[in-house]
Structure 1
């Protein structure tokens, strides 16, 4: 059997199954696709694909449906990803460009992606560990209280209040603010721990407790695991899916509620070499997501990913269209953050 023809038959089965939601038979393939071979040859190809574990017969006398292995081969051999239309691109840009702050950007991005794919959209907030410092502000809010404000290049704003033993002088606070920004601006937050290590030595002994307290609270903020959070939209889209999928919707919804599961997947998929990563069915390594696929890509300023955005839907999804939508929203999200 020709390897190329086998892939063409598999591609046709995947596309027809996604579109019709019905098992695909050889007669349908002959009628809908110009494969250039006889029905008998197609049946032989399908038998070989079934033996290889790429397609399966759900019940006797039925056509064939793709397996996780079949979807994986289909995705891996995609030569092109279906581009979005001009109106779709303009709608995404206009909607995201209206955002007023980081929370609004994330909210708009996840909503527009859910609308495009008619699936669940997931956006991971920019990680402090992968962000760079844009500005650090020190604001006295009382005689012995100091507000430490960390602003990143991705628009994240983290605030911490520092209780002091003695009231700091305006001169020391001003000098500390200036030196912190001179050291911090443009550097990844993970690098700042090293950069700030010797900062107290620059100040007079009586000011060093304040400097140490501020650098420690910056380091503690950067080290917090609670920074990793995600936003979901479009969960109701799953309930409007095909009957065979909605019957197993409970475990999927339970898995989506466990943010630690999604964060683990996002972290693992960030290591994929492909620009758009795909986990199919059991590849998610979570029983509740065994009938879903997860498509993600990174976003961030200057082409350097600081977090990920993705779409979750049934394994019977339109992979080229979903991959295109995820990639397009990620690009516009990156542009807004870089601006």
Structure 2
């Protein structure tokens, strides 16, 4: 995701000034304004030359309606990675966050309030993924044949928790075949986490007799369905309508796509899933998210931990010209406080 072209200190300073000015008022920035605000006593002609170089590098662009320039996704990325100065939140603000969240005993209310707090503090959309369940270990498994190429799966997981699932198979299996599969899984995988079963079965597929391979494919199908169900995550979101106040996001079709993506949840859950498996804070700018609906947005996320285990992600969705220096510490502090309070719960 990182983009790090080599530009000199003067160009970096002008790019930083341009982006900060654009974040502030949302208008293309002209050479005269940059010359005046950069503090480097450069002529507008010199600034125009530097801007032309930055445009060639794909860091800024000139909208058709203006002689001024605006940052591109690449420009924002260089700014966020190399030029941004993030100031920590003042102590009294952190205490206000803590007070807002500390009064709640119910974990669901706590998560809802955290989402609301992110939204109200940034004037953007705040979202919090619900905590994922911890590891799921297989204790025992049984298969029973049903009519219509269906199989009843009886799972004993973790501390003797019993779950029944019905899965659809490519063909009918006899009780003997299903017993073979159950015996294999119980002998090989009892005590292992469910999400490791599929990989292990595929790894051993070459060693398995041909007459057992269909049974093992059933085991792979089972592992997929069980893991998908146990890992289903959801999130709470507040403040979507805040996004309507930003001029660059006021296009109704674009807003409709964004709200639809938030409603159906699939795309944003994929983005959050990338974040939960990454180290620390993640920032997806515009097209970096990989989803058209978020093409004009940035998503700033941070994982939160319960008992030192990452169980979820929270963050803010806003326009690409968001005030990153202000949003980043809000997301960071909220993640730390939420994790701390959920741990104490």
Q: TM-score, normalised by structure 1?
A: 0.70
Task: List per-residue Cα deviations over 1:173-219 (Å, max 9, x = no partner).
Answer: xxxxxxxxxxxxxxxx948999xxxxxxxxxxxxxxxxxxxxxxxxx
Corresponding residue of 1:198 = none
State the aligned residue count: 265
Counterpart of 1:260 (choices 266, 280, 283) is 266
Determine helix, strand or coil for the equivalent of 1:297: strand
Counterpart of 1:15 (choices 8, 17, 20) is 20
Corresponding residue of 1:49 = 54
**Is the 8 Å Cα contact of residues 84 and 325 (structure 2) preserved in structure 1?**
no
Corresponding residue of 1:103 = 108
Corresponding residue of 2:300 = 295
**Is the 8 Å Cα contact of residues 296 and 319 (structure 2) preserved in structure 1?**
yes
Equivalent residue runs for 1:85-100 within 5 Å: 85-100=90-105
Counterpart of 2:249 (choices 236, 245, 250) is 245
Equivalent residue runs for 1:139-150 within 5 Å: none
Q: Aligned-pair distance for 1:288?
A: 1.1
Counterpart of 1:335 (choices 337, 340, 344) is 340
**Is the 8 Å Cα contact of residues 315 and 331 (structure 2) preserved in structure 1?**
yes
**Is the 8 Å Cα contact of residues 54 and 69 (structure 1) preserved in structure 2?**
yes
**Is the 8 Å Cα contact of residues 278 and 296 (structure 1) preserved in structure 2?**
yes
Q: Please tell me whether residue 67 in structure 1 is matched to residue 41 in structure 2.
A: no
Corresponding residue of 2:240 = 235
Determine helix, strand or coil for the equivalent of 1:236: helix
**Is the 8 Å Cα contact of residues 299 and 305 (structure 1) preserved in structure 2?**
yes
Q: Please tell me whether residue 284 in structure 1 is matched to residue 289 in structure 2.
A: yes
The unaligned stretches of length 5 or more in structure 1 are: 133-147, 152-158, 163-188, 195-219
Q: Cα 1:233–1:302, aligned 2, differ >3 Å: closer, same or farther?
A: same
How far, CA to CA, are the matches of 1:258 and 1:78 in structure 2?
36
Counterpart of 2:34 (choices 26, 29, 36) is 29
Q: Aligned-pair distance for 1:328?
A: 1.0
How far, CA to CA, are the matches of 2:290 and 2:70 in structure 1?
22
Which sits farther off after the overlay, 69-78 or 37-46? Answer: 37-46
Corresponding residue of 2:117 = 112
RMSD: 3.1
**Is the 8 Å Cα contact of residues 129 and 190 (structure 1) preserved in structure 2?**
no
Q: Cα 1:272–1:221, aligned 2, differ >3 Å: closer, same or farther?
A: closer
Determine helix, strand or coil for the equivalent of 2:42: coil
Q: Please tell me whether residue 3 in structure 1 is matched to residue 23 in structure 2.
A: no
